[in-house]
Amino acid sequence: MAPMPLNQFLLFCWVAGFTILLECSPSESRPLEHLRFQAYTRHMDTSEPPKAAPGPVTNRSWNEKYVIQEGPNGIIQERNSTETEFDSLAADWGTCGTGNPMDDCWRCDENWESHRQSLATCAMGFGRDAIGGKNGQIYMVTSAEDDDAANPQPGTLRYAATREEPLWITFAKSMTIYLQEELILTSFKTIDGRGVDVHITGGAGLTLQYISNVIIHGIHIHDIKVTGPARVMSNTTHVGDRGVTDGDAINIYTATQIWIDHCSFANAADGLIDAIHGSSMITISNNLFSNHDKVMLFGAHNIDTVDREMKATVAFNKFGAGLTQRMPRCRFGTFQIVNNDYSAGWGIYAIGGSESPTILSEGNHFVASSEKEVTKRIDDGGDLYGGYQSWNWISAGDLFANGAYFTSSGDSSLSSPVYTEAFSLTARPANYTQALAASSGPLSCTPGQMC
């Protein structure tokens, strides 16, 4: 298919209506994810979107009406089916009708508690290869204590997080963990808060440095403070002298294959999630953010050209009340920001950056409050790389309300290689974004029932 300007492309898809999405694909060379998950609709139905309630998914009628499913052979077929047909499709294809593709991968499994590690196959976006503690043992945290950061006691989160072997870390009961010092994780760990209510609050946050393959799912992290200097174990063979922390809820430093899903974040001394200094292959999905100034930072410095390699996906998050800026703020790298709910507005800007990052904004729902512009190009004193006009920022299929607007720049063709490179998962129509992000944050999960 010859490249086509974005507006013509969208019109084509609109008119094409029920034709197979593949034909609407702006590029033939998109990664595997595109082929695997290009289900879902381009029907552009204008009826009211569903009000998906957080909690168990029991009513599938919405998906019956809208979803197009991809079959086992990669054959995409429109589904206009009855509930019975749906159930058999769901069984065949492992979907469950939340409409949210990552959730569909696991949320309808009533036996989620005995299949915890199947979550590790559900990541999408650039962090899709993050396997966390898959194939490791389940470690159950029994104590909320954090008495000795240099020599953690068995049963604590810090003990589990610093072990050498892969671990799938769960919690015996609901608990509030006050971390005396930053919690430094090792590779191949999952922190899985499903079934309990875990809050990390009042003290330090999490540090993911020089590691890979971490999944953090279903925990609350809030009211994080600056801590240190201190001696902190980073793995069982190393206890280091750490300086004063920034006070991030999660600090990702030179780390890759990271998936942060269904967590809630509010209020920290510095960023809620900062991924810096050569970090990459990150997916931040289904999280609920609220009450904070500097929400999410990708790349910290105007001289960190190593961050040109950074790739991150920000998908299905809800940016809630009381947020000011950095949803996210990007430097150098390549970012797909897709199907996020920005309906609570933003104080200064939603999506911004410096040093010519590539930004592909798709299917987001932006509702401005007093500040109308979604975007902000920030002169941080670094190289402008030919000026703001040449930075590749594009909005495709976003929904704007209350005067919100996105200022595009650079390449204006969605089919150009620069945006193909930024593509990591297929956007759903922005009309559905609020419903898709409605169960953001930790889910309430009961053993024997769907989450």
Ligand X SMILES: *[C@@H]1O[C@H](CO)[C@@H](O)[C@H](O)[C@H]1NC(C)=O
Residue 10: CB minimum distance to ligand X, A:
10
Q: Which CB, 234 or 364, lies closer to ligand X?
A: 234
Q: Which residue has the tokens 């209506």?
A: 17
Please count the other Cβ atoms lying within 10 Å of the Cβ belonging to residue 353: 27
**How far is the C-alpha of 206 from the C-alpha of 443, rounded, in Å?**
21
List the one residue from 8, 61, 111, 176 that touches ligand X (CB under 6 A): 61
Q: Would you give the binding string for ligand X spanning residues 63-102, x where CB under 6 A is met?
A: ---------------x-x----------------------
Q: Which CB, 116 or 242, lies closer to ligand X?
A: 242
Q: Which CB, 210 or 388, lies closer to ligand X?
A: 210
Does residue 231 contact residue 242 with C-beta atoms inside 8 Å?
Answer: yes
List the one residue from 153, 238, 321, 380 that touches ligand X (CB under 6 A): 238
Order of strands across the sheet with 399-401? 175-177, 198-201, 220-224, 264-268, 288-290, 318-319, 341-342, 365-367, 399-401
Residue 46: CB minimum distance to ligand X, A:
5
List the one residue from 59, 151, 402, 407 that touches ligand X (CB under 6 A): 59
Interaction of residue 431 with ligand X, rule CB under 6 A: yes
Interaction of residue 234 with ligand X, rule CB under 6 A: yes
Interaction of residue 210 with ligand X, rule CB under 6 A: yes
Choose the catalytic residue: 158, 326, 329, 428.
Answer: 326
Q: Which CB, 356 or 426, lies closer to ligand X?
A: 426
Does residue 365 contact residue 392 with C-beta atoms inside 8 Å?
Answer: no
Q: Which residue has the tokens 């890759």?
A: 256
Rounded to an integer, what is the distance from CA 172 to the centroid of its chain?
26
Give how far Cα 281 sits from Cα of 14, 131, 255, 437, Å. Answer: 32, 12, 9, 22
Q: Is 326 a catalytic residue?
A: yes
**How far is the C-alpha of 245 from the C-alpha of 278, rounded, in Å?**
19
State the number of binding residues for ligand X (CB under 6 A).
13
Q: Give the range of 8-16, 197-205, 233-241, 293-301 binding ligand X by CB under 6 A.
A: 233-241
Residue 205: CB minimum distance to ligand X, A:
18
**How far is the C-alpha of 136 from the C-alpha of 32, rounded, in Å?**
27
Active site residues per annotation? 326
